[in-house]
């Protein structure tokens, strides 16, 4: 039981490049989330999903897109990366009240 | 607007003492509040949950209190150890909505041997 896994662990992008962050969970959870964490800002919700095929915007959705084609996977896309998207990205999932987090993806946009 | 506030300054204490961390909130009608631990380079890990109708919860050396009148939760670690050094996040879920938690910015705890 791996819990929540994230791929990749670390990535460097140039401004304007695109990429997809993958989150996978093996706990059969309905809810999945993408957060970004910046120094002094705490965890901020980007997008979330309440089930397969559904997505919704969080607090800071601009510049990101998501897809939940399979229940176990939640993808976060950056179509045209900007330096302001340099951050650590965390995926989380839950069925009840408690969230289970992945190990994070550190993204640097130059 | 809704706000969750945690002390941004690190809390430094000596091993064996009780650490007390504070989480204050405004403009929330809470359903429940959670505390998470985050170590450097890792994702947050759930510690305790307390509901709006509960005053106190305990788990081993951890204790959480919840005062909805003061709009405050206190998180205590008794007999603290250097291994307790980490950042502690509180997360509030409001009633009447999606219950998706909103996280505070966290407080760093440093336990000195």
| Average pLDDT value for chain A | 95
Length of chain B: 113
* Helix (H), strand (E), coil (C) string for chain A: CCCEEEECCEEEECCCCCEEEEEEECCCCCEEEEEEEECCCEEEEEEEECCCCCCEECCCCCCCEEECCCCCEEEEEECCCCHHHCEEEEEEEECCCCCEECCCEEEEEC
Interstrand relation of A105-109 and A100-101 (parallel, antiparallel or unpaired):
unpaired
Mutate: best of A5, A30, A43, partner B, most B CBs <10 A: A43
* Cβ within 8 Å of B, A 49-108: 50, 58, 90, 92, 97-104
A90 vs A2, residue with greater confidence: A90
For chain B, the distance separating the N- and C-terminal CA atoms, rounded to the nearest angstrom, is 41
pLDDT of res. A95: 80
At B8, list the tokens. Answer: 């941004």
Give the pLDDT confidence of B64-103 residue by residue, as tens digits: 999 999 999 999 999 999 999 999 999 999 876 677 899 9
Give the pLDDT confidence of B20-47 residue by residue, as tens digits: 999 999 988 888 999 999 999 999 999 9
CA of A50: which chain B residue's CA is closest?
A: B98
């Amino acid at each position: 039981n791996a819990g929540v896994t994230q791929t990749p662990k670390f990535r460097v992008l140039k401004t304007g490049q695109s990429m997809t962050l993958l989150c996978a969970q093996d706990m059969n959870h309905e809810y999945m989330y993408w957060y970004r964490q910046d120094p002094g800002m705490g965890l901020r919700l980007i997008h979330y999903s309440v089930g397969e095929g559904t997505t919704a915007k969080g607090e800071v959705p601009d510049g990101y897109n998501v897809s939940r084609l399979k229940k176990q996977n939640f993808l976060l896309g950056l179509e045209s990366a900007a330096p302001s998207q340099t951050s650590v990205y965390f995926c989380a999932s839950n069925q009840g009240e408690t969230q289970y987090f992945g190990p994070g993806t550190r993204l640097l946009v130059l | 607007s809704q706000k969750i506030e945690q002390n941004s300054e690190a809390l430094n204490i000596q091993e064996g003492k009780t650490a007390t961390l504070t989480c204050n909130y405004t403009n929330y009608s809470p359903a429940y509040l959670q505390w998470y631990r985050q170590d450097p380079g890792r994702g947050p890990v759930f510690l305790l949950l307390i509901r709006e109708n509960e005053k106190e919860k305990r788990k081993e050396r951890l204790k959480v209190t919840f005062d909805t009148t003061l709009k405050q939760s206190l998180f205590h670690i008794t007999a603290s150890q250097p291994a307790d050094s980490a950042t502690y996040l509180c997360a509030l879920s409001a009633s009447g909505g999606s219950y998706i938690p909103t996280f505070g910015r966290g407080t760093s705890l440093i336990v000195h041997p």
